[in-house]
Amino acid sequence: MSPRTISGTPGYACPVYSRTGRVTEGSEVYSFGMVMLELLSGLAPAQASPSRPGGIEYPIAQNLKPNAPGAQNNCLRQLDVTAGWMVPLATELVNLALRCVTMPDEDQRPRFVEIVRAIRAIGERHPRQQQQQQQQQQLAPPVTTLQPPVQQHHRPSGAPEIQPAQSPVAVADSAGSAEPAPEPSAAGTRTRAAPFCLEVVMAENLDLSSVPAETRNLPLVAAAPEGSGTVGDGPLLFPVGRLSHPDFFEAWMPDVELRNCISRTAFEISWNPASNALHLLARGANPVCVDNEFAARDRSIALHIGSQIGFPYSSAGELAVFLLLRITASGTSSGGGTHVWRLRCVHAEGLAPEELANIPTELRSLSVAGGQPLLVGRQHQPQSFEALLARSPGCLSFISRTHLQVEALAGSTGGMSVTNLSSNPVYVEGEPLAKNDRRSLAREQLLSFARLEGGSHVLFLSLQVEGWV
């Protein structure tokens, strides 16, 4: 945008913006980069000049010379000593900050999505406890007596992870940085499987029918502690992440960039066999959500059969879930022995009945098992909605990323319930369903999506309730 009057705090304002009067994401990124350099160096981007009354001087530009050769060395030599920066951590932040203030070419600056992903990755690679230990080692007096060498455990180095943009999350502490313990290898070690597993229900850019059957459901098994022959009777912990279950996450998320948005240990599930209570504890620096709500790190969240665990990232300013898992009772995720209801598409605008019938069943039907709420929307069933609205793509904008929650009610004749989670219109048997309202659905009733046309709603997609065992 181009405001009528150019304004902005001296030192923080992008020179390109000051010259052209045009505000862009790049000009805002420049300002954030100056904040980073200020944090690293303790120098102000601009301040009153002591030598010229009414004048301004620019300490960061004068001392760090961000756009001159050797800028990285300048920044590292002038780190704020009172902050106790660790050099590896500071180096990564300096490099990111310098990219933010690159000029005059704004296209060379990172987008905010990339900045936040990079900062989260840096936090995961340099957890707080590791920094404190290094500081204590630097400040500790020399040891004059012979001591056995202390073995330091550092996180393996690797390529920067691509992290999601989301609300602020604390830098990973010792819990987030700890690698899962290696599996016991001693002969006779006992294990205990939980009576539930994690079922993949949605993965971005992936047809789940192509996922091998053996990797669609992740069984959770606890092993006896090292040196012990049995698994205890107390609560058991199951770490989940791309390091503890690499085969599953590689099958679910072939896109390496998206897979790197999942922490090495993303969360832990605790199960108490005595009470059968389930809880989730977020562990990684990358965000995790439970039933569409973000899970704060190190805060226990109760789970139940049917709870959905998602991995979100930022896309075009919106938070979108790119991988969705569901807690399922072991042995029932495929529907065997459980009454399952189905929503089958019977009308899609632009498609003739024979064209609709030719769409694969898995794309024109949504299955809802008892006790397992299903979220419905563009981010949860992208391939289904794209196939059904191939002749009317404009209607996709009237389907929200998370539009509905449907749930099978108890019993084979219990029907279903639907809750509208969106401001976009939804109709049940021709009657509107307001946002946050819930309504029962009986067999053969219609659930419809609507678009606005000339001040009235037109139903463009209808799903009919069916049930089978």
Instruction: Verify that 266 and 312 share a domain, yes or no.
Output: yes
Note whether residue 464 is domain-resident. yes
Of 271, 299, 334, at which residue does a domain stop? 334
Of 118, 133, 148, at which residue does a domain stop? 133
> Where are the alpha helices (H) located in 21-177, listed in sequence order?
25-41, 59-64, 71-77, 87-100, 112-125, 128-139, 174-177
Tokens 């009777």 belong to residue? 233
pLDDT at 371: 57
Note whether residue 4 is domain-resident. no
Answer yes or no: are the C-beta atoms of 461 and 345 closer than 8 Å.
Answer: yes
pLDDT at 372: 63
Of 334, 350, 372, at which residue does a domain stop? 334
Note whether residue 161 is domain-resident. no
Instruction: Verify that 263 and 382 share a domain, yes or no.
Output: no
Answer yes or no: are the C-beta atoms of 122 and 161 closer than 8 Å.
Answer: no
Structure token pair of residue 448: 């419809």
pLDDT at 267: 93
User: How many Cβ atoms sit within 10 Å of the Cβ of residue 335?
Assistant: 13
Instruction: Verify that 339 and 279 share a domain, yes or no.
Output: no
pLDDT at 469: 39
Q: How far is CA 414 from the centre of its chain?
A: 35
Number of domains in the chain: 3
Instruction: Verify that 390 and 424 share a domain, yes or no.
Output: yes
Instruction: Verify that 126 and 70 share a domain, yes or no.
Output: yes
CATH number of the domain enclosing 360? 2.60.200.20
Note whether residue 141 is domain-resident. no
In the three-class reduction of DSSP (H, G, I as helix; E, B as strand; rest coil), residue 66 is classed as coil
pLDDT at 237: 87
Over its length of 469 residues, how does the chain's per-residue pLDDT go in tens digits? 777 666 667 888 888 887 888 888 998 999 999 999 999 999 989 888 777 776 788 899 999 999 888 899 889 989 988 788 888 889 899 999 999 998 667 888 899 999 998 898 888 888 765 555 555 554 444 433 333 333 333 333 333 333 333 333 323 333 333 333 333 333 333 567 777 889 998 998 888 878 887 788 888 877 555 544 555 556 788 999 988 888 899 999 988 888 888 988 999 998 877 767 788 999 888 889 998 888 887 688 888 888 899 998 755 445 678 999 998 876 544 434 445 678 899 999 999 999 998 888 778 888 776 656 788 998 888 888 999 999 998 899 899 989 999 887 765 456 788 999 998 889 999 999 999 899 998 888 999 999 988 888 999 999 999 865 3
Note whether residue 204 is domain-resident. yes
Instruction: Verify that 321 and 341 share a domain, yes or no.
Output: no
Q: Which domain holds residue 423?
A: 335-469
**Residue among 399, 392, 403 nearest 436 (CA):** 403
Instruction: Verify that 87 and 115 share a domain, yes or no.
Output: yes
DSSP 224: P
Instruction: Verify that 422 and 450 share a domain, yes or no.
Output: yes
**Residue among 339, 395, 385 nearest 364 (CA):** 385
Residue 278 to residue 272: CA distance in whole angstroms: 7
Instruction: Verify that 349 and 220 share a domain, yes or no.
Output: no
Buried b (16+ CB within 10 A) or exposed e, 371-410: bbbbbbbbbbbbebbebbbeeeeebbebbbbbbbbbbbbe
Instruction: Verify that 379 and 317 share a domain, yes or no.
Output: no
Instruction: Verify that 354 and 464 share a domain, yes or no.
Output: yes
pTM here is 0.37
Looking at the chain, the number of H-run helices and the number of E-run strands are: 13, 22
∠ at Cα 382 (366, 219), nearest 5°? Answer: 65
Answer yes or no: are the C-beta atoms of 243 and 179 closer than 8 Å.
Answer: yes
